[in-house]
Structure 1
Amino acid sequence: MRNKQIHWPLLCLITFLLLTCPITLFAKASVSTSGLLVEYLSNPIGVDNPNPMLSWKLKSLDKNRYGQKQTAYRILVASEESLLHRHIGDYWDTGWINSGQSQQHIYQGKPLQSDRSYYWKVKVKDENGNEADWSPSNHWHMGLLQQSDWKAEWIGSETLFDPAQEDCNIVDPWFRKSFQLSKKPQQAFLHVASVGFHDLFVNGKKVSTDVMATAVTDHTKRARYVSYDIGPYLQKGVNVIGIWLGTGWSIHGPYVGKHRPNTPIVIAQLACYAHRHPGAFDQPFFRLSTDSSWKYKHSPNKLLGTWDTHKMGGELWDANEEDPDWNTSKYKDTDWKKAVQYNPKLKLSWQQVEGNSVLDEIRPISISMINDSSYLIDMGVNFAGWTSLNLEGKPGQRANIYFSEREGEKMTFGIRSGYIFDKTGKGTFTNRFNYSSGRWITIEGLTKKPDLNDIKGWLVRTNYTDHASFSCSDSLHNWIYNTVKWTYENLSLGGFIVDCPQRERLGYGGDAHATCETGMLNYGTAAFYRKWMEDWRDVAGTESIVGDMYDASFARKAVMGGRALHKGILPHTAPTYMGGGGPAWGGIVVSLPWYYYQQYNDVRILKENYDLIKNWMEFLDSHTKDGLLQRFGGKWDFLGDWLWPNATEEGMNNDSPQNLCFNNLYRIYNLKTAIEIARVIGQDQQVELWEQQVKQYTEAINEAYFDTKTVKYADGAMGNTTMALLADVVPQDYKENIWEQLEREIIVQRKGHIHVGITGGAMLFKLLRDHNRNDLIYSMTSKDTYPSWGYMKANNATTIWEMWEKDLPGHSLLHSSFLYPGAWYMDGVAGIKVHKPGYEEFVIEPPAATSTHLTWVKAHFESPYGTIRSNWKRTAGQLAMEIEVPVNTNAILKLKTADQIVIPVDGKHIQLIREDKKERIYQLASGSYNF
């Protein structure tokens, strides 16, 4: 064998190149992918959008690096997880796409099929073009895409609701079906829709930890289904599916119709597959659907009350009817009745929002004796949710359980439950299909005093994630922030925000102005609000129902109150129809989509609701004369602001110039927001038309309501001054005067207090937040005398009240009215503000040193791109900051020139954009900063 000579010059050249040239072939990326979501949910089951939206976040693998971002991505979607492991996307392989987009990817692969699972993952390239590792595989399961995919029948009991009864006459029914399987399925999905609530059991075990399914919806039009993976619960041989129905919203008056029985009903459909990953042409080896062959029996549970205002009641549990084996295969159901088959005209659609969960355990702080058989329990906090009570009483006798928001009152708003003892005289009351609201519990009919350990409570709400935290140097502001958040959570059971959880449980549009930005800036509510906007589309074309809600002639008629209805008319609540309101109540269908778009950069919310918005504007135009909106509807249909201080004495429902002025100004604000929406989605012709209307309406309102001598709109009330500035109708020469007037009213006339209500207050805070008037908001939120949030704290409130007054009878102490500070703490005090929709670029702007007396703030917000952190501290006039900018984003840092803080500009990751006498503006690349 001949020896090979080494080519030393060539070897030296190669060595030199390896040592001096950057090596990118095997370089490690600086980021990883995480937080994969489909339709804003993690691994959802039941998706009925044929083109679902996919999103992900990036995480830094090196906390000391700056400017990290995505420069390209590749998405794989496969029909089997094993294909994904081999990096094969048989349904969608985008290939490498040069883009920094990590949000809002609309699926564009092969057509998706009903009742099939799909698996996906994503890989990205970082700022240097280095490939990151593949994300972990995620999945979603499609629901039933076509109505024709549903082969099941609706079933229920024969008992129909009798509204004449003080308590509901329907006993919540059990349904069951026994069936044989030749083998254990590798995959099995059951889709369940119910009018009323439901729990699902398979072979004696409850499926899912969710409670009170499904989300609340308009049952004159649709029912929502929840999909369950029940494969792990099934076995070869005999199996039993049990469904427990709860009456709930099935008897809500506005949902009454000839096409649907006034009783809880359910439809369910099961498909079992032999393979874990059935292919496109695989057929299930077993199917099961609800029909009249299912059997039913009364359960131990029954609704108390009639699910009406002041009559939401609670639940009555009869322990003598308990049967723990009712949903098992060993149970004999020979004496059960055959299910009644019904044929309601309802569209079936996916729930599309997180289910309700039992959260935040609450323990009582005291139990005191009232008499030998009655006891008073103080839970320590006002809350809406469930309770578990271990009780002892006389066999066969009933213990009555009353809930109250007010100390010294046995019951408020008719919230009550009951427990009938069996022969043992011992038992546990636990909620199933209703919830209570209050702080104090009175129990009558006991033979033994409960122990503290016998009592538990829980918050029950839609299980969205908490996306923010805030704390500061002032205990009052910490109390306001935490109490606002606690109140918001107690209002959000069922996929919409109620005004109050005890008296009405209605989804008021006017109140939503006070809650929606607080919700979006503190929680992961993207799926939540998208669902609620679908509810608003469902109720469109019908006016609000005020009065006897069991008059079936009201529900979804084209003519009401003798008037032909405009297609754009809206009730004041959704999906609940009932209650009073005004233009700001229906106007939420414009404001909420726009706020949502700013938060999530999801243009679908604008497109899906554009016709709703356009029809609403046309409805208002139909009540316009000489450029001014005229009063329309009945007594409760043209409210302006609501529940300002002393409002009940002054009279809120009136035709005063103040009220007419407010609603006209709100209409212009609504219209200008609609213009921005139309502009984003390319409706240029409509933009031009609406801009002409804005000009016309602005001229009309200034002529009718603006007094140039006093420089006031109407009576110069805080609400009207606010709306004039927010709607931007003030002539340029008078703007400074109007601003001075607003400042003077807050600081001088009201001595730093607020003097607006629900809608006026939400609009006031929106205006002041937009203009960085943290000084004025701080003044109003720092007071502890009437009217203020501090006044509530001083009066031992644990939730935010409905009215500024405490002692007026009949109003709620847990309400949506005044939750708007929750948004200000994030974008005003922490200074985290959206700049580009979806937070691809955002602003961090701490308040000026003179605008608050706070010395430090710590806050974070989980944006669609990741965690934004804004911590600031002032010591002896010097500002220090800790800032976190998520990967794939930029921050605009705005500082007052007077702030003594050193920003080390490097021209790359920290750039000085602008500097003048008032402020300095920097751009920060992604990374963690300490200044």
Structure 2
Amino acid sequence: MRKLSICWLLLLLCQFALAAGGSSVLPQHLRCEYLINPTGIDELKPRLSWTLKATDTTAFAQRQTAYCILVASSEEELKNNKGNLWSSGWINSADMQHIVYKGKPLESDKRYYWKVCVKDEKNMVSAWSPIAVWATGLLKRDDWKASWIGSDEVYRPGPTSNISYPWFRKTFELTGSPQTANIFVASVGYHEVYVNGYRVGEDVLAPAVTDHAKRARYVTYDIARFLKPGKNVIGLWLGTSWSIFGPYITPDKPNTPIVMAQANIYTGASNPLIIKTDDTWKTHPSPNMLLETWDFARLGGEQWDANKEISDWNTLSCNEQSWKQATVYHPQLILSAQMVEPNRVLTSIKPVSIEARADGSYRVDMGVNFAGWTSIKLKGQPGDKITFQYSEREQMDMTFNLHSAYIIGKEGKGTFKNRFNYSSGRWITIKGLSYKPSLDDIEGWLVRTNYESATSFKCSDSLQNWMYDRIRWTYENLSLGGYVVDCPQRERLGYGGDAHATCETGMFNYHLGAFYTKWLEDWRDVQGTESIVGNMYDTAFAHKAVMSGRYLHKGILPHTAPTFSGGGGPSWGGIVVSLPWYVYQQEGDKRILEKNFEMITLWLEFLDTQTKDNLLQRFGGKWDFLGDWLWPNATAEGMNNDSPQTLCLNNSYRVYNLRTAAKIARVLGNKAKAEEWEKKAKLAAAAIHNKFYNEGDDNYSDGSMANLAAALLAEIPPANIRPLVMKQLENDILVKYNGHIHVGITGGALLFKLLRDEGRDDLIYSMTSQTTYPSWGYMKANGATTIWEMWEKDLPGHSLLHSSYLYPGAWYINGVAGIRQDPSSGNGYRKFIVRPPHLQADQISWANTSYESSAGTIKTDWHRTGQQLVLKVTIPPNCTATIDMPEKVLMNGQVLKKKSAKGYELPAGSYILVSEP
């Protein structure tokens, strides 16, 4: 009764506020665990977030002083302002991110409707937000009644060992119309869901990529509208994909795609009708099959045989006489909800030309390098086999063995379209056609995780605009499956070292809270296993406790997740320290630090076991102690760089890990760990300085740009020497290398991080404005449409769509736009800094940016004429900004007074500021 009275009082207050002119703010953009209206989540204490919209965009200092959240079991209850599951009451707080649900315990397969209202700076109550919803999955293992099933066709490695993508179906009866019905589908391998012949949902290549040695993720689909009284049929279609990936092979799983699915159908009774996968399901090979395997540079494609089509395979009319009984399997896998956006078919790509060649083939130019799907309309004689080869390079028909095929059926026509694999490249070579296809016959699509864009950016420099656009396009092409791959065509591995080059670029340009939360769970899953380099199908090789005679410490990390394979070094595994900290800074997410603290601790303990006299020693095999990677001319110098300069860089990186971990420990209130790691960092920094510092040249080890950047970022130089080392780095960039960059993936990420933190926009601009080798401008001049793996183009074994050099993407927002999170704040962008770049008007004269931060949309629009700078800035409600500009700044013709040594502090609102020289 008391809660009901509170709800009615809230309603009256809202009505009164609206009648009196209303609150200065309105809650908007409601999210649950970073997601918009997520379905099938398994977080028992989900967190709710929102941002605020100003009701008067000409006003200032709007803020939130309190909030009230209602959660109800139905939309009708919530419309009547009844929070029968949780009514928070008024909470006096400005917080609007990651508010933990504190209502009745969550139940499986239920919908939770919620909304929020707030009080503003004058204690006026806002209108209610729009209604949002989240739905739970199956929260307990006992809730699952289904079994794992698959076909009896098992993959056996070999150059021509193809395997069919199997169909499964189950017919059942309903006595009435369903009120609600969800099907929960976990699969090892990709899946699609059909009900009564209709495809359910728009997701593709589901589920997200996961360590199938340990875990399977399930996806929830609402199927109520596809069901009807009487007979119904559910169909499942599986793709091989990651089910045959070598590192995921375990004795309890077959080397074939498998699925566990359960439909809970409510027709009015309190208990649902449960349709579950078991040995009563039927299976049949589909017309589609894997080509090649799923291995390094052999990720193949798919072949469609139109002669094997069964048009009604997923409908009631299908004749099941030739269908087999499904096989039940018993893998020991953790079941988790997919708490990240699904993969979707997005940007359409049209071909720009088709060349008829002398050998009878046709070469299609799609105009841009991309990873995704293609659709090609075909005609021919029954039985004709049409092949498609995909290439990144104009002079090669096929790169990295990416190819697909289509066999013409009796109708003499058909359409090839990807379903359970994807290609990557710009050119398609078509063989087997007797005619030249038209441009209208062919279409491509980008396929990626369906996160939202957060940022727009443009500036006066056309090369910088090209770089920004191509870096974003490259990032999008690398992020299929809930993690970032090194390249989508050769490996598809989630390298930790490459993540340094991409993660801040990603977070400054997209909404990636759920994405990186999921990827960090992948890293927790793989901890305790060394990377696998070699024959991925030697099951004795995978997941050994001892490899090459080395002891496997439980804190060790492979160099990729969730994929285990590949080479790397300390800065590959060390992403598990950096990435949670970066997410915390961007999002104010303390839970991500808590969830990963044990992994961080174990990783640093592993490094301790490899340390002597405060210095990290070389450990592992040939590919386990890489430092910088793919710097200019690296192949000629020896890319593994098994040398003292790598020892210096990796020691510096360990110190950077220790200092970052200490900050994390302090946020979590773990003073003892913070002090322990700070002490180790101090001792290691002194040991590195003593061993590697070159006093005469003010540099470290070999004096490379990478070692200088790593030492400075890790705070290795003593305070009195640091300016000298920084000056040496400046000299290297501007004089020694004539304004060019001379680092690779890891060294470059550390360099750009350092220079952004130091505000050295001039040095970054020097490197990003070059048009000769090595530079991004050199890529542009050589026809690049995506960012390359190496600074060199003409090495066919290397990718032209890669994660290597995406780190400028963060600078455009963090540097050129001047939007910087305030390090003194633990609330994401509730407090932030705007610092226009230290550039001359003849470098970049203007920039316009909109950035949807965790706290709301920040806008900066500046232009420079001579020494005068004009800045327009929009600070979202409930936020404050420190404007870091020259000493004398005018606002409305009046000199603005500094409120702190950092700059001019301003509350929410839109401002025009003018600096005077």
CA distance in 1, matches of 2:710, 2:88: 48
| 2:31 paired residue number | 37
Q: Is the counterpart of residue 265 in structure 1 residue 251 in structure 2?
A: no
Deviation at 1:252, TM superposition (A): 0.4
Aligned to 2:608: 621
Q: How does 1:697-736 map to 2 (within 5 A)?
A: 697-736=684-723
Counterpart in 1 of 2:201? 208
SS of the aligned residue for 2:891 comes to coil
Match of 1:888 among 878, 892, 905: 878
**For the residues of structure 1 that align with 2:320 and 2:355, how far apart are their CA atoms?**
45
Equivalent residue runs for 1:411-810 within 5 Å: 411-810=398-797
Equivalence for 2:122: 128
Corresponding position: 1:327 with 2:314:
yes
Higher Cα Rg, which structure: 1
| Alpha-carbon distance change, 372 to 700 in structure 1, aligned in 2, over 3 angstroms | closer
Q: Does the CA-based 8 Å contact 2:380-2:434 persist in structure 1? A: yes
Matched, 1:178 2:171: yes
Quick one: distance in 2 between partners of 1:519 and 1:886?
Answer: 22
Counterparts of 2:602 and 2:829, CA distance in 1 = 30
Deviations 1:584-609 (A, max 9, x none): 00000000000000000101111100
Show the counterpart of 2:223: 230
2:843 partner amino acid = H
2:73 aligns with 79
Q: d(CA) in 2 for partners of 1:852 and 1:612?
A: 48
Q: Return closer, same or farther for 1:167/1:872 CA change in 2, 3 Å cut-off.
A: farther
Of residues 844-853 and 534-543 in structure 1, the stretch that sits farther from structure 2 once superposed is: 844-853
1:142 equivalent to 2:136? Answer yes
1:14: which partner in 2?
none
Deviation per CA, 1:308-343: give whole Å up to 9, x if none: 011011110111112221101122212200000000
Q: Could you tell me how far 1:168 is from its partner in structure 2?
A: 4.1
Give the alignment's TM-score, normalised by structure 2.
0.96
Post-superposition offset of 1:424: 2.5
Q: Which residue type is aligned with residue 594 of structure 1?
A: W
Deviations 1:685-737 (A, max 9, x none): 11121122112211211121112233221111111111111010102221121
The equivalent residue for 2:54 is 60
In structure 2, the residue corresponding to 1:554 is in which secondary structure? coil
The 1:391–1:904 alpha-carbon spacing in structure 2 relative to 1, beyond 3 Å, is same
CA offsets 1:601-623 (integer angstroms, 9 cap, x no match): 10111110001000000000000
Match for residue 12 of structure 1?
none
Give the aligned CA root-mean-square deviation in angstroms.
Answer: 1.6
Deviates more, 1:327-336 or 1:432-441: 327-336
1:372 shift after superposition: 6.8
Task: Report the secondary structure of 2:884's partner residue.
Answer: strand
Partner of 1:921: 903
Corresponding residue of 2:12: none
CA shift at 1:82, angstroms? 1.7
Q: CA deviation at 1:851?
A: 8.5
* Pair 1:715–1:396, CA change in 2 (3 A): same
| Unpaired stretches in structure 1, ≥5 consecutive residues | 1-21, 276-281
**Shift in alpha-carbon separation, 1:91–1:657, aligned structure 2, 3 A:** same
Q: Which runs of no fewer than 5 residues in structure 2 stay unpaired?
A: 1-15
Q: Which moved more, 1:54-63 or 1:371-380?
A: 371-380
Aligned-partner SS, 1:524: coil
Counterpart of 2:141 in structure 1: which amino acid?
A: Q
Question: Contact between 2:841 and 2:864, CA under 8 Å: does it hold in 1?
Answer: no
Q: Distance in 2 between matches of 1:438 and 1:798?
A: 10
Matched, 1:841 2:827: no
Quick check: 2:33–2:98 contact (8 Å CA) kept in 1?
A: no
Taking structure 1 as reference, are residues 560 and 90 closer, same or farther at Cα in structure 2, changes over 3 Å only? same
- Distance across 2 between alignment mates of 1:317 and 1:373: 22
The structural deviation recorded for 1:86 is 1.5
Contact kept? 1:152, 1:267, Cα under 8 Å: yes
Letter in 2 for 1:740: K
Output the CA distance in 1 between the equivalents of 2:630 and 2:493.
17
Partner of 2:13: none
Report what 1:46 is aligned to.
Answer: 40
Partners of 2:866 and 2:641 in 1: CA distance: 52
Where do 1:268-279 residues align within 5 Å?
268-275=261-268
2:6: which partner in 1?
none
Counterpart-to-counterpart distance in 1, 2:103 and 2:605: 39
Are the aligned partners of 1:905 and 1:912 in contact in 2 as well (CA < 8 Å)?
no
Is the alpha carbon distance of 1:738 and 1:372 closer, same or farther for their aligned partners in structure 2, counting shifts above 3 Å?
closer
TM-score between both structures, scaled by the size of structure 1: 0.94
Matching residue of 1:190: 183
Distance 1:457 1:606 in 2: 40
- Select 1:89's aligned residue among 76, 83, 101: 83
CA distance in 2, matches of 1:868, 1:23: 27
Over 3 Å counting, the alpha-carbon distance change for 1:24 and 1:294 in structure 2 is closer
Aligned amino acid, residue 537 of structure 1 = R
SS in 1 for 2:885: strand
User: Any idea what SS the aligned residue of 1:668 has?
Assistant: helix
Distance 1:851 1:772 in 2: 17
CA contact (8 A) 2:185 2:218 kept: yes
CA contact (8 A) 2:23 2:120 kept: yes
Contact 1:905 1:911 in 2 (8 A): no
CA deviations 1:27-80 (Å, max 9, x no partner) are 411221111111111111111011001001111111111111111111011112
Corresponding residue SS for 1:548: coil
Point out the more displaced range, 107-116 or 371-380. Answer: 371-380
Counterpart residue identity of residue 731, structure 2: R
Alignment of 1:94-113 (within 5 A): 94-113=88-107
The one-letter code sitting in structure 2 at the alignment partner of 1:554 is: F
Counterparts of 2:641 and 2:119 in 1: how far apart (Å)? 62
Distance 1:520 1:411, change over 3 A: same
CA shift, 1:849, in A, is 4.0
Contact persistence 1:247–1:433 (CA under 8 A): yes
* Other structure's SS at 1:912 match: coil
Residue 477 to residue 312, structure 1, CA distance change in 2 (3 Å): same
Structure 1's 911 and 927: CA in aligned 2 closer, same or farther, altered over 3 A?
farther
Distance 1:168 1:902, change over 3 A: farther
1:829-860 deviation line (CA, Å, top 9, x unaligned): 00011112410011111112438711110111
1:832-890: per-residue Cα shift (whole Å, max 9, x none)? 11112410011111112438711110111111122111111123432222211111111
SS of the residue aligned with 1:201? strand
Tell me, in whole angstroms, the C-alpha distance in 2 between the residues paired with 1:694 and 1:905. Answer: 49
Paired letter, 1:921: G
Instruction: Tell me, in whole angstroms, the C-alpha distance in 2 between the residues paired with 1:906 and 1:78.
Output: 51
Question: Given the alignment, which residue of 346, 356, 363 partners 2:333?
Answer: 346
Partner letter of residue 714 of structure 1?
S
CA distance in 1, matches of 2:587, 2:655: 25
